[in-house]
Structure 1
Amino acid sequence: MMKAVENVFMKKSNRIGIMILVLILMNFSARMSKRKHSKPLKSNANKDFYKNLARILKIVIPGVNSKEFWLLMIFSGFLVSRTFLSLYVAELDGKLVSLMVKRKKKEFLFGILWWMIVAIPATYTNSMLNFIQNKLAIGFRTRLVRYMHGKYLEDETFYKLANLDDRVKNADQLITQDVNNFCHSLAGLYANLAKPILDIIIFHRQLIKNVGFEADFALNVLVQISATLMRKMTPPFGMYASEGQKLEGEYRYAQTRLIENAEEIALYNSHEREKGIIWSFYDKIVKHSKIVFKSKFWYSMLEDFVIKYYWGALGMMFASVPVFLGTYITNIRLLISASDAFGRVMYSYKEVVELGGYLSRAVELLDIFEDIKNEKFVKRNADANEIVEKRGIVIYTSDEVYFSRVPIVSPTGDILIKEMTFRIVPGMHLLVVGPNGCGKSSMFRILGGLWPVYGGCLKRPVNSEIFYLPQRPYLSLGTLRDQIIYPHNENEMEKRGYSDGDLKEILTILKMENIVEREGGWDSTKDWKEVLSFGDKQRIAMARLYYHRPKFAILDECTSAVSLEFEKIMYNHAMKLGITLMTVSHRPSLWKFHNFILQFDGQGGYVFGKLDASKRLALQEEKIKIEHQLSEMKKLEAKLVELEKTRGAMKIKRNESYSKLLNPNYLSRRRSSESK
């Protein structure tokens, strides 16, 4: 009767023990979301953390049919298998020690053989877990990077992020290094949390069965008290991780900036100044790293003491409850495994807050992408924010460019022209002139959709009907063919009905058909930026314009490196193709290709009207002639002043000579010297 009551009590104790253990784990998970700081941080495991994590998980695991979901399921299956294998190995260890003490050699040898056989699936399971974890990390990264690239490379977000918004200056760091760190941390965190929690539940259930509920409950209470103490003393590792990645990004940005502006820095001979700037960014990383190292030193010391020694001592006392050797060895093995599992849960708390740091950076970038898509820009200058928040109307048409009371405003908030109104239709070739910094390039950036319209109404063609040729053409990575058809690829070229022969005809018009053979054929791949001369680059850009044949083209000093003969060929053929030209240039040789002019005065004003090229050239020649005459007059005036000075000096010298001759003493001395 007593035996039956004891069995019932033990069964109920097992259930109660498991329930209490689950409650303890739930309490531990809940406490992970609370911090000692009065001001919650994004990087901490709080409500924002779970919300942001759920948002990212929808991206990296889009559904049950995704590869990542089934990898996660397989990974979970291997985690469960490893836990039960560990439990079986613990029991097997106890039996082997018992057989060894009882000197049962035959059974012991068979036990060792069986132990070696069990090692095969155990090692396979461990290797598969590492393999699948790495597969998950690269799968997560692929999903997240593709999603970010989709946001970053649409609607010129990459340009607007760098030029119109001041919140992020190192997007490349975020998309590459930070995303990689986050995905590996996310994949590792699942293994570091799921496996230990499963181990704790299974091992404690077995320990309760072996030694009773009371001892296990007392041990869990003591462990929970020490775990709470450790959580309260845990430094803000999430904030450290987020700040560290930010400082690394700023340091990398300083290095990139040095490379991009190498020529100007070298000409200024300012390498010492730039060295100081770069070292200032690096010093911030060093100072931050020292703070992190100090925090980790004291925390690691406390962590090792509690997990390895304090919990180990409790475990030895706990395992010594049974008297019989066989169960003692099994309990020791189970206890070591359970203690190791609980320690990994504690260690994973630090990984959770570090994951929160990476997560906050990734979500911040996605939020900025959304803001830029909705044309919400943030500038460091508060006055600029008030100006750039205003918006005008953009209407897409196919047959005109119409600025109606559109202000020309830079992203920094500088108002270059308060209101601009003019209209261009096909056949109206526009020449744009004016001093530097007056708003010419700014106007074309607004027309091209790079800058927002801050007021009024802009009617413009769609992007495929307007083409931009800068003074320094962009040459992409790829083949010679790719340079002419950019941004199209070969398939898109064929869909448009073009062939390599058609491209050769375009090059023939520009008298550079020999470049195909010279550079090794259409499929030759080189660093075209370094291979081609400046003049060849500008002719390639013009060939690109002929291939696309848009209705409107913006030509920004795009013929500055070619001769007048080639310039004439380029413009005549573009006009023959029906392309309406809008040119920014100071070269008088281009005036005859335009019939309208937009002239900026550099003081916030402008004039728009018809252009009589011959009359303007005559006026220009007369102006040059008058300026030459004025410069000659200045030279004559300077010569006259010089002659007057010489004449005055000679007059003074002559007067001094007369005064000497009239002096009696001078005459007597001269006579005496002559007589001698």
Structure 2
Amino acid sequence: MAIQSRLEQFQDLRDELQQKALITGLKAASGYRKNYALIQRILQLSYFSFIIASTYRGLNPKPKGKKKQVDKTQTAAAGEALQRSTASGEKGDRDVEKVKEVTQTADAPEVDMSGSSRGKKGRKGKGPRVEVDAKFFEQLKRILRIIIPSYKSKEALLLMGHSVFLVLRTMLSLYVADLDGRIVSALVRAQTKQFLGGILWWMAVAVPATYCNAMIEFLQSKLALSYRTRLTQKVHEAYLSDDTYYQLGNLDDRIRNADQLITVDIQKFSTALAALYSNIAKPILDVSLYNYQLSQNVGAEGLIIINILVQGSAALLRAATPPFGSYAATAQKLEGEFRWAHSRLIENNEEVALYNGQKIEKNSIERSYFSLIKHINRISKIRIVHGMIEEGIIKWLWGSLGLVICSIPVFVKLPGIGGLAADMGSRTEAFVTNRRLLLSSSDAFGRIVSSYKELSEMAGYTARVSSLLDTMQEVKASRFEKKLVSSAGTEENAAVLRGRGKTEESSDIIFEDVPIVSPNGDVLVKKMSFTVKPGQHLLIIGPNGCGKSSLFRILGGLWPVYGGIVKKPKGSDFAYIPQRPYLSLGTLRDQIIYPHTVSEMRARGKTDEDLLKVMSVVQIDRIVEREGGWEVQREWRDALSGGDKQRIAMARLFYHQPRYAILDECTSAVTSEIEQIMYNHATELGITLLSVSHRPSIHKYHQNVLQFDGQGGYTFSKLDTERTEKRQALQEEKELLEQKLASVPVWKERLAGLEEAARSRPASPVAFR
């Protein structure tokens, strides 16, 4: 009985709790129904606040934890330098023989032990690591400041116009969704008048809708073109100033194919950026407006629950998305290397043809091509699996969730929204409208998710364009990264590489303890001192590779000064005439006045008659009539002979009349008569000549001689023309006698053979008359 009594008490307690829970639930339901409008506003506000916050976080990711700075130790010996790269997991300790690169800073060079195939790119064989992270957005913001300089710029106005049409297109889509529901409702209810009216409105809406779509596409292409123009102008401004184009190709190894970056990568970046704005801004706007309208039609609760599921699946999709940014960057790099291989063949086609090296070059080019194709095929295979996952989630999973949302007002009675009691036409209208809104929202959200892949690819283009801008900035600040020769690792040469000299302006050319160093770290002369005053022509002689051309590049300001003091006139006071003169694109007149324009020539008070006079000095004035006048345009490097090219360069020298002229075997293709005329006329014009030539005939035109011995030594002295000519004659006679003496054993052997042949033959009878 006691147990039964306790059971009855327990049952009463349970009934009481159930009754209280029921009452609480009824009160909650009553309160929910009573405050339904307020609750919906709160849920909608919370939902859209979450959307805005998520979008902001996605576009402004927090930077990852700072990696440990790379330790760079500068010691007297470059071989003892260490560089530990924690990002790539490389070994920092290496032997002197494995020194590969050097970072030449304004204060001191830093030896980079990472090797040409590793370095900042990470593990060997891998491409640059590119991600949609804080670094990407920092690079993108920097480029955006270039392509959209102000809110009053043309690009900003185009962007505003583009945004207006995107908003109009979304508003039209909302209206079309509602119109679609009314048309189907009229069809279900057999309301002919309403149905035909809806069809007419449908056709009328097509006009502004198609116009909006056309304008969106037009403005997107205009934006891409404007972005490219701004960015190209900025790059050209940096690339074609301060000899950056020369230093980038000769003093630095980071950018091997600047032409590829400027002509192709900037175009792809601009197109991707213009498309990305449309592919992100419009879907975000669509999702916001469509979801707001859906929350009005089906309630915010169901929309929030479904969106939680969608966000989870989107996170899964992002996690399953491969690093397409890195793939895009690597593909562009391989494209550039393939193009560079062809450019290299074109540049050296004569040497390759003379050596019959087309088979080797074909193998080299095909290796570059098949590396590119292999990478593209790999990406294509990866896209198959990714495409299946993407379509399965976006189309099928989200489609089923959409049907669940559309069914809410049909199966559930919501306050203020027709439900079970509504007639067939109302339910059909609500279902079709919600279905279209949901499909549009799902499509917009799918485009947002898909745009992450496009964003990753654009990160690759952004990284390459940013690397070009960064490298040009580094080069302008005289911070280079160049592969070194093995001798650069010695203690003495490393000390030279760490130094920096000074350059001062002077009317004379003065070298005070200046080392002659090539960009790859080869110390040709440890210290050089000499002085050349105006009017004192200098002859420079020595074997190949001893530093003659390096000296000229230091004088021209092309190579850095690693020590001592260089005093020289400004760059515009120098002219350079190589053995193969450069002939530009343009008219015949342009070849004489290069790099001046016709307007600059006129401003100097020069006329075509003056040009004809300087050409007549070196006896090429006939070319004007032969080629068809001053305005004719040809590929002059092919139209003129080697001798005519050198005479054109001499006429160019006489036109500009610089204070100093560097002549590098510039008379090798002309006669001694023209050579004499050129030297005498240049002297009359007051041009001081610095000549490199192996022809003894030019010695008499110089007062000083700078002779390299090819072993790191040199002598600078007055040039004794008579003594030099005698020495040259004795040298030529000595070489001739040595050649003859070298032939003596051959002659003796031939004489012995003839004598042996004569003895072995019987004497022939001689007939006399």
Q: Is TM more than 0.5 here?
A: yes
The corresponding residue for 1:247 is 334
Is residue 2:360 matched to residue 1:273? yes
The CA distance in 1 between the partners of 2:402 and 2:483, in whole Å, is 57
Is residue 2:474 matched to residue 1:368? no
The corresponding residue for 2:443 is 340
1:83-122, CA deviations, whole angstroms, 9 ceiling, x for partnerless residues? 1111111111111111122222223222211221111111
Cα distance change of structure 1 residues 647 and 399 upon mapping to structure 2, 3 Å threshold: same
Corresponding residue to 1:200 among 263, 280, 287? 287
The corresponding residue for 2:351 is 264
The corresponding residue for 1:350 is 453
The CA distance in 1 between the partners of 2:495 and 2:340, in whole Å, is 28
Q: Check the 8 A contact 1:14/1:205 in 2, yes or no.
A: no
Cα distance change of structure 1 residues 557 and 318 upon mapping to structure 2, 3 Å threshold: same
1:473-524, CA deviations, whole angstroms, 9 ceiling, x for partnerless residues? 0011111111111111111111211122211221122222222222222121
Is residue 2:50 matched to residue 1:23? yes
Q: Check the 8 A contact 1:192/1:348 in 2, yes or no.
A: yes
The CA distance in 2 between the partners of 1:170 and 1:157, in whole Å, is 14
The CA distance in 1 between the partners of 2:313 and 2:269, in whole Å, is 30
Is residue 2:416 matched to residue 1:329? no
Is residue 2:591 matched to residue 1:488? no
The CA distance in 1 between the partners of 2:193 and 2:496, in whole Å, is 87
Q: Secondary structure at the match of 2:305?
A: helix
1:196-220, CA deviations, whole angstroms, 9 ceiling, x for partnerless residues? 0001111111001011111111111
The CA distance in 2 between the partners of 1:227 and 1:638, in whole Å, is 88
The corresponding residue for 1:155 is 242
The CA distance in 1 between the partners of 2:563 and 2:334, in whole Å, is 38
Which amino acid in structure 1 is aligned with residue 40 of structure 2?
Answer: S
Which amino acid in structure 2 is aligned with residue 351 of structure 1?
Answer: E
The corresponding residue for 2:218 is 131
Q: Secondary structure at the match of 2:310?
A: helix
The CA distance in 1 between the partners of 2:558 and 2:644, in whole Å, is 27
1:418-472, CA deviations, whole angstroms, 9 ceiling, x for partnerless residues? 1111110101101111111111111111111111111111112111101100000
The corresponding residue for 2:199 is 112
Cα distance change of structure 1 residues 596 and 86 upon mapping to structure 2, 3 Å threshold: same
The CA distance in 2 between the partners of 1:216 and 1:81, in whole Å, is 25
The corresponding residue for 1:415 is 523
Instruction: Report the more deviating stretch, 396-405 or 26-35.
Output: 26-35
Q: Check the 8 A contact 1:552/1:579 in 2, yes or no.
A: yes
The corresponding residue for 1:212 is 299
Instruction: Report the more deviating stretch, 403-412 or 23-32.
Output: 23-32
Q: Check the 8 A contact 1:137/1:183 in 2, yes or no.
A: yes
Is residue 2:266 matched to residue 1:179? yes
The corresponding residue for 1:73 is 160
Q: Secondary structure at the match of 1:454?
A: coil
Cα distance change of structure 1 residues 641 and 271 upon mapping to structure 2, 3 Å threshold: closer
Cα distance change of structure 1 residues 623 and 379 upon mapping to structure 2, 3 Å threshold: closer
Q: Check the 8 A contact 1:403/1:423 in 2, yes or no.
A: yes
1:93-108 to 2 correspondences below 5 Å? 93-108=180-195
Q: Check the 8 A contact 2:511/2:531 in 1, yes or no.
A: yes
Cα distance change of structure 1 residues 186 and 69 upon mapping to structure 2, 3 Å threshold: same
1:502-521 to 2 correspondences below 5 Å? 502-521=610-629
The CA distance in 2 between the partners of 1:394 and 1:460, in whole Å, is 11
Q: Secondary structure at the match of 2:130?
A: coil
Instruction: Report the more deviating stretch, 238-247 or 394-403.
Output: 394-403
Q: Secondary structure at the match of 2:480?
A: coil
Is residue 2:548 matched to residue 1:461? no
Cα distance change of structure 1 residues 29 and 305 upon mapping to structure 2, 3 Å threshold: farther
Q: Check the 8 A contact 1:388/1:413 in 2, yes or no.
A: no
Q: CA RMSD in A?
A: 2.6
Q: Check the 8 A contact 1:78/1:125 in 2, yes or no.
A: yes
Q: Check the 8 A contact 1:475/1:528 in 2, yes or no.
A: yes
1:300-311 to 2 correspondences below 5 Å? 300-311=387-398
Corresponding residue to 1:541 among 637, 640, 649? 649
Which amino acid in structure 1 is aligned with residue 222 of structure 2?
Answer: K
In structure 1, stretches of 5+ residues that fail to align are 654-676
Which amino acid in structure 2 is aligned with residue 429 of structure 1?
Answer: H
Cα distance change of structure 1 residues 354 and 499 upon mapping to structure 2, 3 Å threshold: same
Q: Secondary structure at the match of 2:307?
A: helix
Cα distance change of structure 1 residues 241 and 382 upon mapping to structure 2, 3 Å threshold: farther
Cα distance change of structure 1 residues 636 and 83 upon mapping to structure 2, 3 Å threshold: closer
1:324-344, CA deviations, whole angstroms, 9 ceiling, x for partnerless residues? 111111111111110110000
Q: Check the 8 A contact 1:10/1:213 in 2, yes or no.
A: no
Instruction: Report the more deviating stretch, 11-20 or 399-408.
Output: 11-20
Q: Offset of 1:80 from its aligned partner?
A: 0.9
The CA distance in 1 between the partners of 2:280 and 2:336, in whole Å, is 30
Q: Check the 8 A contact 1:82/1:125 in 2, yes or no.
A: yes
Which amino acid in structure 1 is aligned with residue 458 of structure 2?
Answer: L
Cα distance change of structure 1 residues 4 and 229 upon mapping to structure 2, 3 Å threshold: closer
The corresponding residue for 1:661 is none
1:342-376, CA deviations, whole angstroms, 9 ceiling, x for partnerless residues? 00000100011111111111111111111111111
Q: Check the 8 A contact 2:483/2:520 in 1, yes or no.
A: no
The CA distance in 1 between the partners of 2:398 and 2:553, in whole Å, is 66
Which amino acid in structure 1 is aligned with residue 465 of structure 2?
Answer: A
Which amino acid in structure 2 is aligned with residue 358 of structure 1?
Answer: Y
Corresponding residue to 2:700 among 573, 592, 613? 592
Is residue 2:377 matched to residue 1:295? no
Which amino acid in structure 2 is aligned with residue 435 of structure 1?
Answer: P
Q: Offset of 1:242 from its aligned partner?
A: 0.8
Q: Secondary structure at the match of 1:320?
A: helix
Is residue 2:481 matched to residue 1:378? yes
Cα distance change of structure 1 residues 11 and 224 upon mapping to structure 2, 3 Å threshold: same
Q: Check the 8 A contact 2:506/2:567 in 1, yes or no.
A: no
Q: Offset of 1:567 from its aligned partner?
A: 1.2
The CA distance in 2 between the partners of 1:436 and 1:553, in whole Å, is 21
Q: Secondary structure at the match of 1:408?
A: strand
- Percentage of pairs with the same residue: 50
The CA distance in 2 between the partners of 1:305 and 1:84, in whole Å, is 29
Corresponding residue to 1:319 among 406, 416, 437? 406
The CA distance in 2 between the partners of 1:480 and 1:605, in whole Å, is 44
Q: Offset of 1:648 from its aligned partner?
A: 10
Q: Check the 8 A contact 2:63/2:134 in 1, yes or no.
A: no
Q: Check the 8 A contact 2:583/2:637 in 1, yes or no.
A: yes
The CA distance in 2 between the partners of 1:607 and 1:3, in whole Å, is 106
The CA distance in 2 between the partners of 1:204 and 1:331, in whole Å, is 10
The CA distance in 1 between the partners of 2:157 and 2:750, in whole Å, is 94
Q: Secondary structure at the match of 2:482?
A: coil
Cα distance change of structure 1 residues 346 and 252 upon mapping to structure 2, 3 Å threshold: same
Count of aligned positions: 652
Q: Check the 8 A contact 1:78/1:129 in 2, yes or no.
A: yes
Q: Secondary structure at the match of 2:661?
A: strand
Q: Secondary structure at the match of 1:615?
A: helix
The CA distance in 2 between the partners of 1:472 and 1:562, in whole Å, is 12
TM-score by length of 1: 0.92
The CA distance in 1 between the partners of 2:740 and 2:485, in whole Å, is 52
In structure 2, stretches of 5+ residues that fail to align are 1-28, 68-86, 89-127, 411-426, 761-769
Cα distance change of structure 1 residues 388 and 66 upon mapping to structure 2, 3 Å threshold: farther
Corresponding residue to 1:144 among 224, 231, 241? 231
Which amino acid in structure 2 is aligned with residue 13 of structure 1?
Answer: Q
The CA distance in 1 between the partners of 2:329 and 2:741, in whole Å, is 69
